[in-house]
Amino acid sequence: EGGAVGHTVPSDVGVLVRGGDVGALADAIASVVAEPSTRAEMAARSAAHARSLPGWPAQAAAFESAIRELLDG
């Protein structure tokens, strides 16, 4: 886990491991590689999550709005 990933990425779309924990990373990779059905399920859930997020134009507009509010406030 690093930064805001644990708060912004649903836990069912992948495997999170603590930064610097090489053993945990190796175990996570091995478990995903060994289980094709798990890999396919995670891929489907991550694609569905990605489709639920705002696109770049909406994100850019929200960012611009926040910056303008800071500058005007």
The model's pLDDT over 15-56, given as tens digits with 9 standing for 90+, comes to 888 889 999 999 999 999 999 999 999 999 999 999 998 999
Q: In 20-39, which positions are buried (b, 16+ CB within 10 angstroms) versus exposed (e)?
A: eeeeeeeeeeeeeeeeeeee
Condensed to tens digits (0 to 9), the pLDDT of residues 2-19 reads: 677 877 888 888 888 888
